[in-house]
Amino acid sequence: MSEAVDAFNIMVYRQLKRFVRAKSRLFGSIVNPLIWMVFFGLGWSSLFKGSMAKALFGGYSYLDFLAPGVVMMTVFMGGFISGVTVLWDKEFGFLKELLVAPASRTAGMAGRAFGDALVATIQGALILAAIIPLARDINPGGIPVTLAAALLTGFAFTSLGITIALKISSMEGFHIIVNFIMMPLLFLSGAFFPIDPLPEWMKVLAYLNPLTYSVDLARISMLGSGSMNPLIDTVVLAASSLILIGSAALLFREATID
């Protein structure tokens, strides 16, 4: 048992170390969401004005509406992409080191996912701090809940990234994943626009997307209200995390080398 804990902890250590080492990656992961917030957010908010706009965005200005979405986008992309970097571990060999180790593979993979989730949460917190001056209605008391939701979100999507990376076998697959999985998940999450007015088929997809519940939970905690029950959001997120880390661990347990 203590060996499994060691394997978990050491993988958290590894992911945090890698994060601290790669300053350019840290910079990129923060600049990208800021660009969205400033150019996309300010751009549309100059169009969405007055009471009609507030009716569209649940009673908030567009910038306020967008802020929780951008925080969760940061966490989602950070977690998902670091999960997919298992592809790099495959390509550059570190995965073999784990595969031949006596330690529990499940514990190791869970540790990796948790380490990346922590990193993604830190990125989300930095973005949150940066956009508070832009979005005026953010409730500071809701920040801890937002960060807890971020951690769960990070964990879920790192696990998804790992699962996908273990399934595919070429580095070339990376861009396909980004374009065909990451972007649709992002756009169908309610981060940029409300889900309810969408066409029926998009709505169905949005409700199947765990990120929808993260964004809603962040909106509830940061602004005060969202479109669903926070309890449902939490349960769906926790369940998705479990299922996704489970599938990642299962795949990793059966993995062999090539």
Partner 1 sequence: MDAIVAENLTKRFGELVAVDHVSFKVKQGEIFGFLGPNGAGKTTTISMLITLRKPDEGEAWVAGLSVAKKPAEIRRRIGVVFQDPSVDRELTGWENLWIHGVIYGVPKNSLRRRIRSLMEFVDLWEKKDTPVKHYSGGMVRRLEIARALIHEPEILFLDEPTLGLDPQTRAKIWDYIEDIRRREGTTIFLTTHYMDEAERLCDRVAIIDHGRIVALDTPENLIRRLGGDVVYLHSSSDRLEELASMLSETGLASDYKIIDGKLMLSVRDASKAMPEIFEAARKLGVKISEISYKRPSLGDVFLHYTGRSLRDSEGSWKETARIVVRRRR
Site residues for partner 1 per CB under 8 A: 3, 6-7, 9-10, 13-14, 17-18, 21-22, 92-103, 108, 169-170, 256-258
- What are the angstrom distances between the C-alpha of 22 and each of 25, 26, 29, 89, 110? 5, 7, 11, 16, 22
Closest approach, Cβ 34 to partner 1, in A, equals 25
Closest approach, Cβ 170 to partner 1, in A, equals 7
The smaller minimum CB distance to partner 1, of residues 96 and 203, is found at 96
The smaller minimum CB distance to partner 1, of residues 105 and 219, is found at 105
Closest approach, Cβ 8 to partner 1, in A, equals 10
The smaller minimum CB distance to partner 1, of residues 89 and 137, is found at 89
The two counts, helices (H) then strands (E), for the chain are 14, 0
- What are the angstrom distances between the C-alpha of 127 and each of 6, 17, 41, 53, 71? 31, 21, 14, 25, 6
Closest approach, Cβ 27 to partner 1, in A, equals 16
The smaller minimum CB distance to partner 1, of residues 14 and 203, is found at 14
The smaller minimum CB distance to partner 1, of residues 108 and 154, is found at 108
Q: What is the DSSP letter of 192?
A: S
CB atoms inside a 10 Å sphere around CB 225: 11
Closest approach, Cβ 94 to partner 1, in A, equals 5
For residue 208, what are its two tokens? 């199947």
Residue 51 to residue 48: CA distance in whole angstroms: 9
